[in-house]
């Protein structure tokens, strides 16, 4: 198995920075970061750190330390700027997402 040398985390090119999501659905944001050694990831919405106490928000850590933020039953107030910050012993990096939650009208 080929391992890379320890370095600060880096943002993966080509991630989806603008996200449109229909009201009532689940927003899923994958932190687009590569890191060796593994980075600790924090999530923010409009400059407020997302904590475990936020009812509909959940941070999921998957294989290879990939962090995903899920927002259940999205409402219009969930629109905003979301940021994941990845930090290891060599530095840190931020990736941001602009999320727009929209309402579908039935005629």
Token output for 15: 């991630």
pLDDT digits (tens, 9 = 90+) for 7-16: 999 999 999 9
pLDDT bucket at 3, cuts 50 / 70 / 90: low
Q: Are 30 and 41 spatial neighbours (Cβ–Cβ below 8 Å)?
A: no
Chain center to CA of 34: 13
Looking at domain 18-102, what is its CATH homologous superfamily?
Immunoglobulins (2.60.40.10)
Distances (CA, A) of 51 to 19, 38, 44, 80: 22, 21, 9, 17
pLDDT at 66 (0 to 100):
77
pLDDT at 82 (0 to 100):
98
pLDDT at 80 (0 to 100):
98
Q: Are 65 and 72 spatial neighbours (Cβ–Cβ below 8 Å)?
A: no
Token output for 49: 């750190």
Look up residue 105 and give its DSSP letter.
P
């Amino acid at each position: 198995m080929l391992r890379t040398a320890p370095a600060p985390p880096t943002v993966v090119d080509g991630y989806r920075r603008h996200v449109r999501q229909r009201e009532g659905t689940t927003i899923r944001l994958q932190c687009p970061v590569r890191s060796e050694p593994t980075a600790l990831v924090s999530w923010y919405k409009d400059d407020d750190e997302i904590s475990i106490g936020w009812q509909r928000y959940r941070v999921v850590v998957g294989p290879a330390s990939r962090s995903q933020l899920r927002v259940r039953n999205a409402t219009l107030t969930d629109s905003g700027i979301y940021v994941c910050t990845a930090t290891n012993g060599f530095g840190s990096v931020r990736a941001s997402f602009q999320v727009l939650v929209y309402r579908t009208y039935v005629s």
